Amino acid sequence: MLELLRRGGPLTAGAMASRLRLNRTHAARHLRILRLAGIVEAHSAANRRVYKLKPRALGMLGDWLDLFLAEGDDRLDRLDDYLHDLQRPAVIFEADLAKISKRWKS
């Protein structure tokens, strides 16, 4: 729906429902949630509601998503570092064992 509104400009719920192959009830529910979230706005035109994006709200959503994704990336980086740290002692231990076994063989 958001992509349709971004590309096609203001559209009615019926127009979006038919393009997305949804029934109108489902489309109206989605649009209601988007409207309550402040992402789209609606105005009446004759007996229809026409929906359009609120670019400022999308910008704020994009900023929040960037922060959320950056925090997730940071968490994954920390997990990766931790897992590498867990593997290091095993590598050092294996190297020490190799040295010890060489000494015993000599």
Burial 87-103 (b: 16+ CB within 10 A, else e): eeeeeeeeeeeeeeeee
So what's the pLDDT on residue 19?
92
Taking only the tens place, the pLDDT of each residue in 25-63 is 899 899 999 999 888 999 888 888 899 988 787 778 788
Measured N-to-C along each axis, helices 24-36 and 13-20 cross at an angle, to the nearest 10 degrees, of 120
The pLDDT mean for the chain works out to: 82
pTM for this entry: 0.57
